[in-house]
Homo-oligomer: A and B are copies of this chain.
Amino acid sequence: MKKTILVAGGDLRYGYAAQALAEKFDVFAVGLARQSLSEKIRLIESPAEIPTCDILILPMPVSDDGVLVNAPFSQNNLSLNFLTAKLKSDGLAFGGKFGKAQKLFDEANIETIDYLAREEMSTRNAVPTAEGAVQLMLEEMPRTIYGSRILILGFGRIGKYLAPLLYAMGADVTVAARDVVKRAQAEMTGCKSIAFTELESYAGEFDVICNTVPAQVITENILEKISPDALILDLASRPGGVDWEAAQTLGKRVVWALSLPGKTAPVTAGEIIATTILHILEERGADYA
């Protein structure tokens, strides 16, 4: 018999995740926008009609206060307590960062799985993030990516996808990385590479500087060298990689782009959530596959 899944709360992505999961499971949704759902999924309007489920899927973050589900599209409050009561005793609760809500699940003796902690998810999210960065470059720059001199700071998940993508688009790409192995890998995708210690002397030669490192690497010294026409794109999560105060004083053009997957490609981002959850279930064996 097919397992039943309840997707509760979240933004547009969760509707698309629900749709992707509906190919293998019976899926119910609560607290989601009708527009992101197909007929395959029953959208429950009244919490009272929520059926008993095998798997509960919660958004990222699960909850702000540890009591109510984070559900911007819902007209009613959705309490976590109410939802856990609908989960079978051997059920699973998926969510992206449980935080304060963890305690409630522990007390109810419900197993929780943080899909955000799964490397597969952050790996796949590099695609919508990199495409979001490309979109911002196209929107903000008065020149084509083809022929532009672009510096990427960092060669982690995002850099590894973004650098060869921009190379394929005809850009002249340089990657700055601390590790000599990462610099070798960057060169092997067709890009040039520099060490972070060389940043100051090269900073003036780029049309776009795109940071992916979650540490303040674009300091005042470096900002001073960056061309006045250059675009600085910061993809790093809080606190970001740019000395904002210095950037403002120096009049540099900085765009800080957070959470690109959900904003630029909610369908793909939802499918990535679904794929990640499916793979976790498959690894748990026959009961869930």
Task: Considering the complex, give the chain B residue whose CB is closest to the CB of A272.
Answer: B184
Number of copies: 4
- Taking CB atoms, residues of chain B closer than 8 Å to A120 are 180-181, 184
B184 and A143 contact, CB distance less than 8 A: no
Interface size on A, residues (CB 8 A): 41
| Chain B hits for A190, CB < 8 A | 170
* B265 adjacent to A144 (CB under 8 Å): yes
State whether A265 touches B142 (Cβ < 8 A): yes
A164 within 8 A of partner (CB):
yes
Q: Which residues of B contact A95 (CB under 8 A)?
A: none
Query: Chain B residues with Cβ under 8 A from A169's Cβ?
Result: 131, 165, 168-169
Known: A123-B181, A128-B144, A142-B265. 9 other contacts (CB 8 A): A120-B180, A120-B184, A127-B147, A134-B134, A141-B265, A143-B268, A146-B188, A169-B169, A180-B283
By Cβ-Cβ distance, the 3 closest A-B pairs, closest first, are: A168-B168, A135-B138, A143-B267
A-B CB contact pairs (8 Å), 22 listed: A120-B184, A123-B184, A123-B185, A123-B188, A124-B184, A127-B147, A131-B145, A131-B169, A132-B138, A134-B138, A135-B135, A139-B139, A141-B265, A142-B265, A142-B268, A143-B268, A144-B264, A144-B265, A146-B188, A146-B268, A161-B188, A170-B188
